[in-house]
Structure 1
Amino acid sequence: MSDKVFKPSHYTKWLIEPITFIMRNGMEFWRGNVIKYATRAGGKLYDGMDEVESEITDLEKAKRYLDMRINQLKGETTL
């Protein structure tokens, strides 16, 4: 269990874990999530999904945070 919490393989393949990069650079929540999901895309297998479906899921999550930020900049009330 601790490996899933402290050293998940879908993040530790990078020289710097995404959370370390995000926090050290003081990034906003939306930007950090884009980085998180984009870097783990193709590295995390979701229950009931194959590798392609899992990668698409993480890419869709990253895209969702980009869309929310765009909506916010446009002044839309629904993010």
Structure 2
Amino acid sequence: MSRKPKTTKTSDIVVKPAHYTRWAIEPITFIMRNKMEFWRGNIVKYGSRAGFKTYDGLDAVESEIADLEKVRRYAEMRINELKGEVEL
């Protein structure tokens, strides 16, 4: 079974999305090289793309708020873990 090669546009969205490649070091590279925990890596990821990625159905401000809410959520999850209030 042969597979169609990905188009450049699709490949760019997956491999080199503009909301991450604007930085000298892509967040995933920074996260992996520093062996960050899941929660910390997600804070870096969502914080670095806040204001640069627009979600379908949201305007630029709503999209930035969504990513910042994700940052807050991961920080809250870590705080809860440290307090022994782990959500399952």
- Using the aligned pairs only, state the percent identity: 71
- Deviation string 1:24-60 (CA, Å, 9 cap, x unpaired) is 0000000000000000000100001100000000000
Normalising to structure 2: TM-score of the pair?
0.87
Q: State the shift of 1:77 in Å.
A: 3.3
- Partners of 1:57 and 1:21 lie apart in 2 by 22
Moved over 4 A (4+): none
- RMSD (Å), alpha carbons: 0.9
Question: Post-superposition shift, 1:72?
Answer: 0.2
User: d(CA) in 2 for partners of 1:6 and 1:15?
Assistant: 16
Q: CA deviation at 1:78?
A: 2.1
Give the whole-Å Cα distance in 1 for the aligned partners of 2:29 and 2:41: 10
Aligned length: 79
The alpha carbon displacement at 1:14 in A equals 0.2
Query: 1:36 corresponds to which residue?
Result: 45
The equivalent of 2:34 in structure 1 is 25
Aligned equivalents of 1:10 and 1:77: distance in 2? Answer: 32
Gaps of 5+ in 2: 1-9
Is 1:52 matched up with 2:56? no
Higher relative contact order (CA 8 A, sep 6+): 1
